[in-house]
């Protein structure tokens, strides 16, 4: 059982500053840090990758020591150097990198920094226009990419006003794998000479925002010091972390948090496989075998985003996995209270971790898990004086905004004249526990009506969504309008009364909010999942601006007093196969053969969710399809019916924590559900 003692997994930057034992004490740049680690702890395992083996129940693994990281980065740098301008006497220009979270990304990133250049890490979910915009903003004239993203990189480079070259990673055009390059025993004997020797304040790499408000991502630079120098040096050698967070998002921060405390971190193999409960279990099994075969420390900490925890919570084996972890961390977005409460009630030591690219790791809900179940409330230690909560005005009651004061160990930007940074994140205090705060919303998500009245739509949206299994998403709008309205995205059931039941939920919550923020029934657009879905970032956050733009016609019609949309009807068993194929075709824009793998053919988590939603709505099967049904099954090929029936029964009887319990035993199981599952092969 975990206690409230300090761990590298939960130590915030404020707590790290108090320890006065920071990673910057013996190194000023990332390059120096890795060199120091390689000299002091050459054989200590630093990072591990599970290696999927097709059609096998046991995966292999690749574990790299600090020596591998240091020497491998220099070897890969030599491979990349012909493509960079070595004649530049000043700082080399930024280099962009478009690659899945993989060994390729890890060592290419380290190698480019070793050469002295800043690295723009681009999420593969970005569209060509977003990639071009990021490269222009960061003055990146070269973009390295892997084979799977060749078309995306080329499309971005060919856009008007694009001024960068798309370059395939050099070893991808050969028979050599990057691990062959990294582990070469007799490399070049010549001393590696970087193009530029960076200082601690130089930019090491650049993340980017998801563009939640505008749809256009913005670069967020990280200096060498901010990346690792403000982190604590604790002893983490006996406790490894497993993270599902991709390197191009928060995975790099997870790495440095582990490495500065000499801890091993396992990264999910995101190059070829989707993140599903099954693949996570196989990954952790590979890590367990490495304990025996390579004497690696056991995985005690599990880090992920809310969506991953939700899928694990719905799977019995996934729940058992979480229960066996010393700590389960969640961050990146808000976890549904019902999911979190369910996990805690099942004995999971759930800890919320809150931070930002601008200011790093700020707060966590680390506590005495044996007696304290308030996982949502982030704790502000009394010794951390660089953070405070400021009142926002009488109309906001007890709500306060988190402010980072001048003098914080890491502040990439400030937005106040006194040198502080108002995060825009609003919290509410715990009714009894001192210095415990629960995230409420973003202060900049409020809607301003034409009357001057203001309100934050997020609490009402969340309340409506969490109260009904028929409602997938809700987007409330109304800026510069007389009154608000809502786009309500429905799932289908067998009752045929979804709109009425969904409206009853909205009406109930209407009574809990101020009059000017209530939603009138004739201002609701009922949108079935068969039609469209809201625009979302790679983290699953709704992009409010782009969604309103996408559904502008619906919104305009509502304000002209027209509303509603037809619900899907039931489908005969004989038509399920053709319907499923047509849905996949519609979502993807091209046909996928029955035996072709979804993930390998570009079905990302957003498209998988869209396919699942369309199936749910069109088929009206009477039970909620598993969130990972598309990934779990893999393709559209018919398989053994008995195995498929077992899968249906498993998911139809498991009590999901994310929706009200459905009475699936009250009626015979739908034959359509069986017909649907027959279409897929569970790998």
Among candidate residues 50, 595, 506, the one with its CA nearest the CA of residue 294: 50
Instruction: Please give the residue that has the higher pLDDT: either 647 or 93.
Output: 93
- Predicted confidence (pLDDT) at residue 189 exceeds the cutoff of 70: no
Residue 526 to residue 115: CA distance in whole angstroms: 54
- Predicted confidence (pLDDT) at residue 618 exceeds the cutoff of 60: yes
518 to each of 457, 548, 620, how far by Cα in Å? 10, 19, 30
- Predicted confidence (pLDDT) at residue 54 exceeds the cutoff of 70: yes
**Site of tokens 């993930």:** 599
Least trusted range by pLDDT, from 140-149, 212-221, 333-342, 381-390: 212-221
Residue 118 to residue 251: CA distance in whole angstroms: 18
**Per-residue pLDDT at 93:** 87
| Sequence ranges of the domains in the chain | 448-563, 573-649
Other CB atoms within a 10 A radius of the CB of residue 667 amount to 9
**Per-residue pLDDT at 637:** 63
Instruction: Please give the residue that has the higher pLDDT: either 87 or 416.
Output: 416
Residue 258 to residue 241: CA distance in whole angstroms: 7
**CB-CB contact of 99 with 171 (8 Å):** no
What is the Cβ-side half-sphere exposure of residue 284, based on CA atoms within 13 angstroms? 24
In the structure encoding, which two tokens stand for residue 546, read together?
A: 């782009």
Contacts of 452 (CB under 8 A, 6+ apart): none
- Per-residue confidence at 95, pLDDT binned at 50, 70, 90? very high
Please state the rounded mean pLDDT for residues 571-578: 68
Pairing label, strands 350-356, 327-330: parallel
- Per-residue confidence at 658, pLDDT binned at 50, 70, 90? very low
- Predicted confidence (pLDDT) at residue 453 exceeds the cutoff of 70: no
pLDDT digits (tens, 9 = 90+) for 282-309: 999 999 999 999 999 999 999 998 888 9
Most confidently modeled range among 327-341, 435-449, 538-552: 327-341
Q: Identify the helix (H) or strand (E) that includes residue 667.
A: none
In the structure encoding, which two tokens stand for residue 221, read together?
A: 């630079």
In the structure encoding, which two tokens stand for residue 532, read together?
A: 């469209």
**CB-CB contact of 332 with 244 (8 Å):** no
CA 558 to chain centre: 34
505 to each of 461, 519, 628, how far by Cα in Å? 11, 11, 26
- Predicted confidence (pLDDT) at residue 395 exceeds the cutoff of 70: no
Most confidently modeled range among 83-92, 279-288, 600-609, 630-639: 279-288
DSSP letter (8 states) at residue 568? P
State phi, psi for 400 to the nearest 5 degrees: -140, 150
Please state the rounded mean pLDDT for residues 21-32: 86
Question: Helix, strand or coil for residue 22?
Answer: strand
**Site of tokens 């790499």:** 205
- Predicted confidence (pLDDT) at residue 369 exceeds the cutoff of 60: yes
- Per-residue confidence at 676, pLDDT binned at 50, 70, 90? very low
- Per-residue confidence at 493, pLDDT binned at 50, 70, 90? low
CATH topology of domain 573-649: 1.10.1200
Least trusted range by pLDDT, from 107-111, 357-361, 367-371, 493-497: 493-497
Share of the chain above pLDDT 70, in %: 81
Question: Helix, strand or coil for residue 262?
Answer: coil
- Per-residue confidence at 611, pLDDT binned at 50, 70, 90? confident
**Per-residue pLDDT at 23:** 79
- DSSP H helical ranges for 65-102: 66-80
Least trusted range by pLDDT, from 139-153, 330-344, 560-574: 560-574
- Predicted confidence (pLDDT) at residue 674 exceeds the cutoff of 80: no
User: Alpha-carbon Rg of the chain, whole angstroms?
Assistant: 25
Please state the rounded mean pLDDT for residues 119-131: 91
Please state the rounded mean pLDDT for residues 607-633: 68
- Predicted confidence (pLDDT) at residue 29 exceeds the cutoff of 50: yes
- Predicted confidence (pLDDT) at residue 666 exceeds the cutoff of 60: no
- Predicted confidence (pLDDT) at residue 241 exceeds the cutoff of 70: yes
- Predicted confidence (pLDDT) at residue 250 exceeds the cutoff of 70: yes
Question: Helix, strand or coil for residue 531?
Answer: coil
**Per-residue pLDDT at 563:** 29
- Per-residue confidence at 592, pLDDT binned at 50, 70, 90? confident
**Per-residue pLDDT at 594:** 78
Q: Which CATH class, in words, describes the domain spanning 448-563? A: alpha beta
- Predicted confidence (pLDDT) at residue 217 exceeds the cutoff of 90: no
**Per-residue pLDDT at 516:** 73
Please state the rounded mean pLDDT for residues 251-257: 95
- DSSP H helical ranges for 202-358: 224, 252-259, 277-293, 306-313, 316-323, 337-345
């Amino acid at each position: 059982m975990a206690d409230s003692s300090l761990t590298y997994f939960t130590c915030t930057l404020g707590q790290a500053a108090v320890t006065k034992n920071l990673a910057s004490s013996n190194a000023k740049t990332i390059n120096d840090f890795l060199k120091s680690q390689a000299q002091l702890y050459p054989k200590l395992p630093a990072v591990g990758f599970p290696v999927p083996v097709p059609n096998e129940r046991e995966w292999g693994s690749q574990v790299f020591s600090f020596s591998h990281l240091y020497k491998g980065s220099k070897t890969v740098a030599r491979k990349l150097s012909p493509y960079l301008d070595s004649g530049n006497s000043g700082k080399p220009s930024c280099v962009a990198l478009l690659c899945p979270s993989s060994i390729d990304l890890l060592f290419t990133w380290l190698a480019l920094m070793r050469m002295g250049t800043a690295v723009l890490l681009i999420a593969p979910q970005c569209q060509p226009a977003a990639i071009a915009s990021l490269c222009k903003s960061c003055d990146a004239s070269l973009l390295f990419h892997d084979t799977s993203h060749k078309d995306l990189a080329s499309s971005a480079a060919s856009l008007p006003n694009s001024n960068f070259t798309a370059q395939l990673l050099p070893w991808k055009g050969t028979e050599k794998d990057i691990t062959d390059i990294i582990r070469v025993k007799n490399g070049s004997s010549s001393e590696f000479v970087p193009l530029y020797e960076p200082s601690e304040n130089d930019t090491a790499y650049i993340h980017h925002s998801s563009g939640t408000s505008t749809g256009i991502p913005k670069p967020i630079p990280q200096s060498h010091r901010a990346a690792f120098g403000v982190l604590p040096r604790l002893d983490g050698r006996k406790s490894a972390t497993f993270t599902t967070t991709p390197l191009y998002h928060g995975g790099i921060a997870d790495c440095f948090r582990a490495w500065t405390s000499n801890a091993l971190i396992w990264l999910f193999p995101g190059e070829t496989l989707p993140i599903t409960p099954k693949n996570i279990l196989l990954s952790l099994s590979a890590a367990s075998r490495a304990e025996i075969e390579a004497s690696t420390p056991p995985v005690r900490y599990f880090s992920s985003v809310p969506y991953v925890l939700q899928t694990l919570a719905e799977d019995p084996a996934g729940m058992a996995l979480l229960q066996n972890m010393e700590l389960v961390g969640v961050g990146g977005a808000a976890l549904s209270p019902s999911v979190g409460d369910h996990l805690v009630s099942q004995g999971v030591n759930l800890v919320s971790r809150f931070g930002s690219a601008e200011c790093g790791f700020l707060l966590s809900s680390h506590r005495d898990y044996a007696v304290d179940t308030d996982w949502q409330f982030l704790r502000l230690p009394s010794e951390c004086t660089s953070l405070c909560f400021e009142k926002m005005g009488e109309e906001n009651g007890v709500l306060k905004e988190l402010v980072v004061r001048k003098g914080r160990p890491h502040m990439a930007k400030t937005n106040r004249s006194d040198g502080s940074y108002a995060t825009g994140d609003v919290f509410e205090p715990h009714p009894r526990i001192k210095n415990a705060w629960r995230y409420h919303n973003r202060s900049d998500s409020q809607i301003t009506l034409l009357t001057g009245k203001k309100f934050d739509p997020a609490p009402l949206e969340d309340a409506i969504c969490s109260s009904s299994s028929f409602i997938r998403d809700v987007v409330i709008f109304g800026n510069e309008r007389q009154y608000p309205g809502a786009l309500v995205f429905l799932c289908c059931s067998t009752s045929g009364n979804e709109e009425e039941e969904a409206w009853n939920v909205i009406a109930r919550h209407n009574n809990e909010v101020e009059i000017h923020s209530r939603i009138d029934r004739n201002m609701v657009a009922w949108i079935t999942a068969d039609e469209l879905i809201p625009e979302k970032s790679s983290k699953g956050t709704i992009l409010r601006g782009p969604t309103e733009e996408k559904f502008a016609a619906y919104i305009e019609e509502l304000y002209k007093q027209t509303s509603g949309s037809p619900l899907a009807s039931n489908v005969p068993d004989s038509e399920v196969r053709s319907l499923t194929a047509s849905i996949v075709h519609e979502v993807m824009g091209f046909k996928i053969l029955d035996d072709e793998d979804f993930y390998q053919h570009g079905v990302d988590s957003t498209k998988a969710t869209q396919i699942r939603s369309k199936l749910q709505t069109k088929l009206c099967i009477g039970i909620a399809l598993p969130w990972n049904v598309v990934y779990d099954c893999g393709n559209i090929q018919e398989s053994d019916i008995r195995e498929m029936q077992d899968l249906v029964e498993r998911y139809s009887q498991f009590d999901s924590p994310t929706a009200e319990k459905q009475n699936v035993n009250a009626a015979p199981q739908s034959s359509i559900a069986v017909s649907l599952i027959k279409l897929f092969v569970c790998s």
